[in-house]
């Protein structure tokens, strides 16, 4: 039988796989067999659904019932109840934070309902390892359209008119880039897909590749045709993404078998093929010039960009580099038209390709927010809607503090700016950036100085070391931040920190150095009082920086309310608590290692942090 | 399969879509079989299989079959609900294989509901 009445879509993105999604798939197959339902129910594996925190997850079609946090032991009951008796199992469904009734349908869960999918259009709908599934959802129709009815320059014009801008960070208008590469002299040109996502916690690109690799391949085909004289493309993926590499390999193989890559595609005299290059995962290799030298087989180091890579890139040939998400948008623009795409988003791109932010952006929402995961939202949506509607707000009713956008070198955005529409220019105006789409939410329990230090230590570590301002400047900045969090900072340090920041921004060779100080600059701008508390009062208001906090016991509360219960003393690993049962306790500050255990275990709120 | 021509693309898409309509939750018609304990005892599985077979023989791909629990009308089982897009759902009761076949032919394929077997349209009873 070809038609199954039930299709079990098992998410097998990296997140769910690490939570045993393959075992869940096997369990479904086993139970379906056991219940003699093979002809009625089919199990299909899909790419990441973006809601990894709820994984392993499964969507049962045609009703779109969403099951989350599954265990192998749940499956027999699920199959018997839902598949045999038609009773979806409530206790395995999603329950919104602070509510009691589960939401059975995926399409009604706010996390999914408030998203607009273009780059992730096939998420959860196709088996990424089956090219037929992609074709069934309109795949490779755009390249067919382009080859039969559009001249290369018309394709460029269409992409320009759509207002699509680079999703990897810079926000450079894609059509303009294609045009320059097209105009550049050279008989051999290249297109590259940058899948070298290096921001900690970011996985937009990985997820697109894992879930829908053909969308990227088709985008590259269209780009190669439009730019002309391009017969070879490269996909640069980091080695740390084995599943993404595997899915690309399978996709390329299938596309070649169908003649969608190779010679004389669709008999239209157009040749193009793609090779995968594995990167070692250095952050700087995401930078375009460094990435190209790495593809050439040399050490990945950036070089000065006085010559643009669109003119002299890979092996000194004109090269057009776009990231995964950018490429994945291209086929949809060709199919649905520039008008449709530019109707989504902000500004006006009809005269100036820099005049607005169009389409959607994929963000990875992380940190102190209820629904962490991957979200695709229209440009121009407010930060507040992303955090509170799609993200479901801050857990445990805590207070929002700031959201950091754009990866480790993005800036912090405070509460007062939450109604900011998310687009390239608006984010830049407040000192942050779109970047590749990382979004980290912090709450009242995060110390801004500590956060700035964390991100700077990341970029500092990843600096390739070629230019001095970036290598030494960030190091000096880190030393100062260290001093401040140790309680040894002074007001002069704050001045110094600001000066160093602008020096590094202005004189670094590549964008890594040029943006690394952003977290420091924005946290100093919007949370100045926290820095001042550290240097002036030697206090950490969020109680994060250990050298600046002190634990003490209110002896009155301890004896009168807690009757000297002695719990804290037994738990203290440093033997820093003095006292006996039924007596008031106190902490010996010279011994206390500030682990915070006593604070957590005292049921009578007798212990304070300052 | 070898190298594709542009015409082949549509063929592959067509084939793939047959399997995929149900993922999109769309479809022109939806048959819901009531599969409570009593329904199953009364032969609901058999009814479901009849519909699945009909779908295959007619080679239609926009008809979705799903199941639901007991409808509280145990003496009327096996029971189904048919919904055509844009029309009120129709409930059929006390089905047999032969009745199911006729319902498929007339209601699903030709769009005319079978009055004699119908129990209710929307919420309004017609028996
Ligand atoms: S746990 Fe609290 S109440 Fe008990 S001895 Fe320690 S400080 Fe006193
Ligand atoms: S903070 Fe840790 S080390 Fe210090 S007194 Fe409490 S339990 Fe002991
Ligand atoms: S991997 Fe399953 S939701 Fe991300
Ligand atoms: S692996 Fe976590 S969102 Fe895909």
Q: Which of A595, A601, A608 to mutate to test the pocket of ligand 2 (most atoms within 8 A of CB)?
A: A595
Residue contact A87–B68, C-beta within 8 A:
yes
Residue contact A3–B30, C-beta within 8 A:
no
Hey, whose CA ends up nearest to atom 3 of ligand 4?
A: A50
The 3-class secondary structure across A255-288, one letter per residue, is HHHCCCCEEEECCCCEEEEEEEEEECCCHHHHCH
Q: Nearest Cβ partner of B15 from A132, A141, A259?
A: A132
Rounded Cα–Cα distance for residues A272 and A565 (Å): 75
User: What pLDDT shows up at residue B125?
Assistant: 59
A299-324 tens-digit pLDDT: 655 555 545 777 777 777 889 999 99
Question: Region A411-437: what's the mean pLDDT?
Answer: 90
**Phi and psi torsions of A547, nearest 5°:** -60, -15
Provide, as residue numbers in chain A, all residues whose Cβ is less than 8 Å from the Cβ of B19: 2-4, 7, 136
User: What pLDDT shows up at residue B74?
Assistant: 67
**Model confidence at B18: pLDDT above 70:** yes
**Phi and psi torsions of A452, nearest 5°:** -60, -40
Distance from CA of A42 to the nearest CA of B (A): 10
Question: Region B105-122: what's the mean pLDDT?
Answer: 85
A533-544 tens-digit pLDDT: 998 988 899 988
Cα of A569 vs centre of ligand 1, distance in Å, is 8
Rounded Cα–Cα distance for residues A437 and A386 (Å): 12
Q: Mention every residue, 6+ apart, whose C-beta is less than 8 A from residue A476.
A: A500
Cβ–ligand 4 contact at A373 (below 6 Å): yes
- In the structure, what pLDDT confidence band is assigned to residue A198 with cuts at 50, 70 and 90? low
Q: Which of A567, A575, A592, A610 to mutate to test the pocket of ligand 2 (most atoms within 8 A of CB)?
A: A592
Q: Which of A10, A46, A57, A58 to mutate to test the pocket of ligand 3 (most atoms within 8 A of CB)?
A: A57
- Share of residues in chain A with pLDDT > 90 (%): 53
A33-85 tens-digit pLDDT: 998 888 889 999 998 898 988 889 999 988 889 999 999 999 999 998 898 88
Instruction: Out of A193-207, A228-242, A534-548, B51-65, pick the least confident.
Output: A193-207
Q: Are A11 and A67 in contact (CB under 8 A)?
A: no
**Model confidence at A200: pLDDT above 90:** no
Distance from CA of A64 to the nearest CA of B (A): 7
Question: Region B23-31: what's the mean pLDDT?
Answer: 77
Hey, whose CA ends up nearest to atom 2 of ligand 1?
A: A602
Hey, whose CA ends up nearest to atom 2 of ligand 4?
A: A15
- Share of residues in chain A with pLDDT > 70 (%): 94
Q: What is the ipTM of this complex?
A: 0.76
User: What pLDDT shows up at residue A282?
Assistant: 58
User: What pLDDT shows up at residue B86?
Assistant: 77
- In the structure, what pLDDT confidence band is assigned to residue A1 with cuts at 50, 70 and 90? very low
Q: Are A589 and A549 in contact (CB under 8 A)?
A: no
Distance from CA of B28 to the nearest CA of A (A): 12
Question: Region A420-446: what's the mean pLDDT?
Answer: 89
Rounded Cα–Cα distance for residues B121 and B87 (Å): 10
How many degrees, rounded to 5, is the angle at CA A248 between CA A210 and CA A192? 110
**Model confidence at A509: pLDDT above 80:** no
Cα of A117 vs centre of ligand 4, distance in Å, is 16
Compute CA A405 distance to the chain's CA centroid, rounded to the nearest angstrom.
10
Q: Are A464 and A282 in contact (CB under 8 A)?
A: yes
- In the structure, what pLDDT confidence band is assigned to residue A403 with cuts at 50, 70 and 90? very high
Q: Which of A203, A208, A438 to mutate to test the pocket of ligand 4 (most atoms within 8 A of CB)?
A: A203
Ligand 1 binding pocket, CB closer than 6 Å: A 553, 558, 562, 564-568, 585, 602, 604, 606-607
Select the residue from A136, A147, A221 to test the B interface by mutation, using most B Cβ atoms within 10 A. Answer: A136
Cα of A247 vs centre of ligand 3, distance in Å, is 15
Q: How many CB atoms neighbour CB B18 within 10 A?
A: 15
Residue in the block written with tokens 């899948």: A195
Question: Region A230-242: what's the mean pLDDT?
Answer: 89
**Closest residue, chain A, to B53 (C-alpha):** A1
Residue contact B30–A62, C-beta within 8 A:
yes
Assigned token pair, A361: 């952006």
Rounded Cα–Cα distance for residues A101 and A104 (Å): 9
Question: Region A145-150: what's the mean pLDDT?
Answer: 95
**Closest residue, chain A, to B27 (C-alpha):** A62
User: What pLDDT shows up at residue A312?
Assistant: 74
Provide, as residue numbers in chain B, all residues whose Cβ is less than 8 Å from the Cβ of A4: 19, 22
Question: Region A133-149: what's the mean pLDDT?
Answer: 94
C-alpha closest to that of A587 among A553, A541, A545: A553
Tell me which DSSP letter residue A398 carries: P
Hey, whose CA ends up nearest to atom 4 of ligand 2?
A: A592
User: What pLDDT shows up at residue A87?
Assistant: 84
Q: Are A49 and B10 in contact (CB under 8 A)?
A: no
Of residues A310 and A233, more confidently modeled = A233
> Does residue B72 belong to the interface with chain A, where contact is any CB pair within 8 Å?
no
A162-193 tens-digit pLDDT: 999 999 877 899 999 999 999 988 888 999 99
Q: Nearest Cβ partner of B52 from A5, A9, A44?
A: A5
* Chain A residues touching chain B at CB-CB below 8 Å: 1-7, 9, 39-40, 44, 61-64, 83-87, 107, 125-126, 132-133, 135-141, 144, 147-148, 257-260, 266-267
The pTM for the full model equals 0.82
Of residues B61 and A2, more confidently modeled = B61
Q: Mention every residue, 6+ apart, whose C-beta is less than 8 A from residue B71.
A: B34, B36, B79
**Model confidence at A5: pLDDT above 70:** yes
Tell me which DSSP letter residue A442 carries: E
Compute CA B24 distance to the chain's CA centroid, rounded to the nearest angstrom.
16
> Does residue B6 belong to the interface with chain A, where contact is any CB pair within 8 Å?
yes
Distance from CA of B124 to the nearest CA of A (A): 24
Please, what is the average pLDDT of chain A? 88
List Cα–Cα distances, A173 to A157, A353, A379, in angstroms.
12, 6, 15
Q: Which ligand is nearest to the CA of A597?
A: 2
Rounded Cα–Cα distance for residues A51 and A333 (Å): 26
User: What pLDDT shows up at residue A216?
Assistant: 97
Residue in the block written with tokens 């992380």: A366
User: What pLDDT shows up at residue B66?
Assistant: 82
User: What pLDDT shows up at residue A306?
Assistant: 46
Of residues A365 and B120, more confidently modeled = A365
**Model confidence at B70: pLDDT above 80:** no
User: What pLDDT shows up at residue A412?
Assistant: 93
For residue A566, the ligand 1 atom closest to its alpha carbon is 5
Q: Nearest Cβ partner of B16 from A1, A7, A133?
A: A133
- In the structure, what pLDDT confidence band is assigned to residue A145 with cuts at 50, 70 and 90? very high
Q: Which ligand is nearest to the CA of A363?
A: 4
Question: Region B69-77: what's the mean pLDDT?
Answer: 71
How many degrees, rounded to 5, is the angle at CA A361 between CA A117 and CA A222? 75
The helix (run of H) or strand (run of E) holding residue A440 is strand A438-443
Ligand 3 binding pocket, CB closer than 6 Å: A 11, 13-16, 48-52, 55, 57
Rounded Cα–Cα distance for residues A205 and B86 (Å): 40
Q: Are B56 and A43 in contact (CB under 8 A)?
A: no
**Coil, strand or helix at A424:** helix
């Amino acid at each position: 039988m070809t038609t199954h009445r039930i299709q079990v879509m098992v998410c097998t993105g990296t997140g769910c796989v690490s939570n045993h999604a393959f075992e869940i798939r096997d369990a479904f197959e086993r139970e379906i067999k056991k219940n003699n339902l093979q002809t009625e129910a089919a199990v299909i594996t899909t790419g990441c659904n973006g809601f990894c925190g709820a994984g392993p997850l499964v969507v049962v079609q045609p009703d779109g019932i969403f099951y989350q946090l599954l265990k192998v032991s749940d499956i027999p009951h699920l199959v018997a109840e839902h598949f045999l008796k038609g009773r979806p199992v409530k206790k395995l469904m999603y329950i919104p934070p602070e509510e009691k009734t589960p939401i059975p349908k995926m399409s009604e869960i706010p996390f999914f309902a408030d998203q607009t999918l273009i780059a992730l259009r096939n998420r959860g709908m196709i088996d990424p390892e089956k090219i037929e599934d992609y074709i069934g959802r309109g795949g490779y129709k755009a390249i067919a359209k382009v080859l039969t009815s559009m001249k290369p320059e018309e394709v460029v014009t269409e992409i320009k008119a759509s207002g699509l801008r680079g999703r990897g960070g810079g926000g450079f208008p894609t059509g303009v880039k294609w045009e320059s590469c097209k105009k550049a002299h050279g008989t051999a040109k290249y297109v590259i897909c940058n899948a070298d996502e290096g921001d900690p916690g970011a996985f937009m690109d990985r997820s697109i590749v894992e879930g829908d690799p053909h969308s990227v391949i088709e985008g590259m085909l269209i780009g190669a045709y439009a730019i002309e004289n391009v017969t070879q493309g490269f996909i640069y993926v980091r080695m740390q993404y084995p599943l993404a590499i595997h899915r690309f390999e399978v996709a390329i193989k299938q596309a070649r078998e169908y003649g969608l890559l190779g010679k004389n595609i669709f008999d239209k005299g157009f040749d193009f093929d793609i090779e995968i290059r594995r990167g070692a995962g250095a952050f700087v290799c995401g930078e375009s010039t460094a990435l190209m030298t790495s593809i050439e087989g040399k050490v990945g180091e950036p070089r000065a960009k006085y010559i643009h890579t669109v003119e002299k890139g890979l092996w000194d040939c004109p090269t057009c580099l776009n990231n995964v998400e950018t490429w994945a948008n291209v086929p949809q623009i060709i199919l649905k038209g520039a008008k449709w795409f530019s109707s989504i988003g902000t500004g006006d791109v009809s005269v100036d390709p820099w005049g607005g932010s169009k389409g959607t952006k994929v963000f990875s929402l992380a940190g102190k927010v209820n629904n962490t995961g991957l979200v695709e939202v229209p440009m121009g949506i407010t930060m507040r809607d992303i955090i509170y509607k799609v993200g479901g707000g801050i857990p445990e009713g805590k207070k929002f503090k700031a959201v950091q956008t754009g990866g480790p070198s993005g800036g912090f955005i405070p509460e007062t700016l939450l109604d900011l529409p998310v687009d390239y220019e608006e984010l830049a105006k407040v000192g942050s950036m779109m970047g590749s789409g990382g979004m980290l939410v912090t709450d009242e329990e995060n110390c801004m100085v500590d956060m700035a230090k964390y991100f700077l230590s990341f970029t500092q570590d990843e600096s390739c070391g070629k230019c001095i301002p970036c290598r030494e400047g960030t190091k000096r900045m880190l030393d100062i931040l260290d001093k401040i969090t140790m309680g040894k900072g002074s007001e002069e340090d704050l001045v110094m920190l600001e000066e160093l920041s602008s020096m590094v921004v202005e004189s670094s060779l590549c964008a890594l150095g040029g943006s690394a100080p952003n977290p420091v600059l924005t946290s100093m701008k919007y949370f100045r009082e926290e820095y001042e508390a550290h240097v002036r009062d030697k206090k950490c208001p969020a109680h994060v920086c250990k050298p600046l906090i002190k634990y003490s016991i209110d002896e009155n509360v301890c004896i009168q309310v807690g009757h000297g219960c002695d719990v804290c003393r037994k738990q203290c690993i440093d033997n820093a608590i003095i006292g006996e049962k039924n007596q008031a306790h106190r902490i010996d500050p010279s011994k206390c290692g500030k682990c915070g255990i006593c604070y957590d275990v005292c049921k009578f709120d007798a212990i304070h942090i300052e | 399969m070898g190298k594709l021509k542009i015409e082949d693309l549509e063929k592959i898409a067509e084939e793939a879509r047959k399997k995929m309509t149900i993922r999109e939750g769309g479809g022109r018609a939806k048959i819901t079989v009531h599969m409570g304990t009593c329904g199953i005892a009364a032969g609901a599985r058999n009814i479901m299989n009849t519909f699945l077979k009909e779908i295959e023989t007619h080679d239609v791909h926009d008809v979705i079959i799903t199941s639901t629990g007991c409808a509280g009308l145990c003496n009327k089982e096996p029971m189904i609900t048919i919904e055509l897009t844009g029309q009120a759902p129709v409930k059929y009761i006390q089905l047999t294989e032969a009745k199911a076949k006729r319902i498929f032919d007339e209601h699903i394929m030709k769009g005319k509901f079978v009055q004699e077997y119908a129990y209710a349209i929307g919420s309004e009873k017609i028996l």
